[in-house]
Amino acid sequence: MRLFIAIQLDDKLKETAVNVQDTFRMMNVRGNFTPKENLHLTLAFIGDYSDPDEVLDAMESFSFSPFDITMDKVGCFDELWWTGFAESEELEALVRKLRRALADTGIPYDRKKFKPHVTVLRKPDYSKGRRISHIGIEPASMQVDRISLMQSTRGKNGMIYTEIGSVTAQ
């Protein structure tokens, strides 16, 4: 089973990300837009792992307090456009605790440096539009009060993300 741990976005942040997608569409940029229901902030990508209960146990092995995050920028990694977040010591601390708990339990995860972002567009096609170098964004915030263990499965129309458990802030 393909797993990852994420913050699920509230409606306000999802709308902010969708507005960025709409900007691309208005500029006639095509590509693989992330469906609104799949927009999330990945904290740790685990990949194929057969024991979700073990992952949930690791997630429950530490606590965190509620905190706010602010989506305030748009950027790209090669052929992937994203919305990003203002620097947050609380978010960074949460990711460190989470990844330490996974490592202490022997659960493998992608150890790339954490760069908080929400993927909005993959493989942009500028052939009918113009290449974009910058998109503005109206900052939006939400309170993080839980993290979710998600399962990713491939459906006939793309990826389907299903929450299989969560841990609430204390």
Q: What is the pTM of this model?
A: 0.94
Could you report the per-residue pLDDT of 112-121, keeping only the tens digit for each? Answer: 999 999 999 9
Q: pLDDT category, 74, cuts 50, 70, 90?
A: very high
Could you report the per-residue pLDDT of 128-159, keeping only the tens digit for each? Answer: 766 776 788 999 999 999 999 999 999 888 89
Bin 123: left if φ > 0, else alpha if -120 < ψ < 50, else beta. left
